[in-house]
Structure 1
Amino acid sequence: MAIRTTVQLPIILADGSEAMAEMYSFSGLADDKEHFALKLGSPDPQHPLVRLHSECVTGDALGSARCDCGPQLQEALSLFNKEGGYLLYLRQEGRGIGLYEKLDAYRLQEQGHDTFTANLKLGHNVDERDYQAAADILNALGLNQIMLMTNNPDKRQQLENAGIQVHGTRPTGVFANRHNHLYLQSKIQRANHQINIDELLTKP
């Protein structure tokens, strides 16, 4: 695997301020998908902060309140601009099942199933994401020792299995609203996400 292209990308953050990011594309990744990375600020040279963010068109682009993906993305970009870090944007919509199947899962959720059971009813695994390509990206960037920004223990485990040394984790915020309470609770109960349930329950 190798860096294919590096470009400068000015971006507008959630607070309206402007940041300059370096954007990287890659060749030779494990799954041949068009994942990319963004570097913002001045990352720690020893253990840079990294977030693996799975693509979510509905949350990232449309501002869907059914999940917490959009706010998590904006949080990471703002934090990395201040403290330095790398965001890996992974093209694995709907926990790896794709956009159309994710919309089918939404329909099942409207019928009372949680997000994980909906995937199973569609014939998928609970979570089909594979982070080998993320490990490939980190290796291409020369980042084999990192701090990981996540609430999801599976991300750390998969990276460590792929040879990345994760020296610790930093949690993301709790972005709860009246539309996604059950979604967040299912992530805690079904996938052991490290979300502060007490903080979640105090949200309006």
Structure 2
Amino acid sequence: MEKLEVSHQAKLPTRFGDFLIQSFRELRMEKDCKCPIEHLVIFTQNLPKVPLVRVHSECLTGDVFGSQKCDCGGELALAMEKIAQESKNGRGGMLVYLRQEGRGIGLFNKVNAYALQDKGYDTVEANEALGFKSDNRDYSIVGEILKYYGIKKIHLLTNNPRKIEAMGQYVEVIRDSIIVPSNCYNEKYLATKKSKLGHLL
């Protein structure tokens, strides 16, 4: 990461509750090009010493369009509900929304991976067939974000042991599970996350 810029804070009323929002812009060098990537942090007014935190990677198809092929949109909504409830209980938390679509391969490649899944590939096989790792995400920016807010210990909403390990480089982590109902379209996807990526489902 070559440079990090932080926006002002603004109010963000949502269907889940009232939050504050702030953007973090990192400047990365990729193929001789300085590429700005803008992440979002949505958080409650009062952050406790040990907040409830969801680190959520962007999934346009699931988060915005309600795709049933994954559990991302459901996890995002449930995380927002849980964080809002924490705030009502006098505590609070934050959601770090990372712009790392498709586990870090980007939207274009994710759609190509979807096409391979339509032919029978699972989510890991599809990424690898396109020349990517099963998970291309980089969580270093999250370490910078948590440092910015002075956070040293978190309750992390996740089922992903790799994410727990990654966050453990920056803060002390207590895992809280986040389970959403499956459907006929994402049963294979969830089974692959459990068997090949080690998700705690």
- State TM-score, norm by structure 1: 0.86
> Equivalent of 1:34, from 31, 38, 41?
38
> Which whole-Å CA distance do the structure 2 matches of 1:104 and 1:54 have between them?
18
- Deviation track 1:62-110 (CA, whole Å, cap 9, x = no partner) reads 0000000001000011111111210000000000000110010011111
Shift of 1:2: 6.1
- The count of residues paired between Structure 1 and Structure 2 equals 187
> Equivalent of 2:14, from 11, 15, 34?
11
> Equivalent of 2:20, from 19, 22, 26?
22
State the one-letter code of the partner of 2:59: C
Shift of 1:129: 0.3
2:181 paired with 1:175: yes
The 8 Å contact of residues 2 and 140 in structure 1, kept in 2 or not, is answered as no
> Which whole-Å CA distance do the structure 2 matches of 1:189 and 1:30 have between them?
33
Runs of 4+ residues over 3 Å off in structure 1 = 27-32
Q: Show the counterpart of 1:113.
A: 121
Call closer, same or farther: CA 1:116–1:125 in 2, change over 3 Å: same
Matches within 5 A, 1:155-166: 155-161=163-169, 163-166=170-173
The 8 Å contact of residues 66 and 183 in structure 1, kept in 2 or not, is answered as yes
Q: Show the counterpart of 1:132.
A: 140
> Which whole-Å CA distance do the structure 2 matches of 1:105 and 1:4 have between them?
34
Q: Show the counterpart of 2:77.
A: 74
The 8 Å contact of residues 53 and 87 in structure 1, kept in 2 or not, is answered as yes
> Which whole-Å CA distance do the structure 2 matches of 1:38 and 1:58 have between them?
20
Sequence identity (%): 41
- Structure 2, unmatched stretches of 5+, are 30-35, 87-91
2:173 paired with 1:150: no
RMSD of the alignment, in Å? 1.6
